[in-house]
Amino acid sequence: MRFLFTVIDDGQAAAAGDNASASAAEMAAIDLFNARIQASGQLIAAHGLAAPATATVVDARGDAAIVTAGSFDEGASFAAGFWIVDADDEHAARTLAHDASRACNRRIEVRGLQ
């Protein structure tokens, strides 16, 4: 089964004044986590995301497309990155998410992919 792990920035970027706000220790821990899940065949993809201010929302559901600058969600928390992983079941995914959260020092939202 495949799962999406969304990395949630709760203000770390604002506190650091930089969207790429992971410390050197966090980056080293993330690299180790990535290497481990790549070696086990569980890593499908992983990426950091640009700042929400760089986002564009496109809504073409009507007669004319509406394009809006910025993120669809203007809250203090935002998606800072993601992993797509392969895990045997939801319990295994949550266990991996626990390790991901420890590595990046951020909350992780876990969702199954359909």
Q: Which CATH class is domain 2-112?
A: alpha beta
pLDDT in tens, 25-64: 888 999 999 999 999 999 999 999 988 889 999 999 999 9
- What is the model's pLDDT at position 83? 98
Cβ–Cβ under 8 Å, residues 33 and 99: yes
pLDDT range class, residue 22, cuts 50, 70, 90:
confident
User: Helices 90-104 & 24-39, crossing angle to 10 degrees?
Assistant: 150
pLDDT in tens, 52-111: 889 999 999 999 999 999 888 777 888 999 999 999 999 999 999 999 999 999 999 999
List the domain boundaries for the chain.
Answer: 2-112
In the numeric block, which tokens belong to residue 92?
A: 């295994």
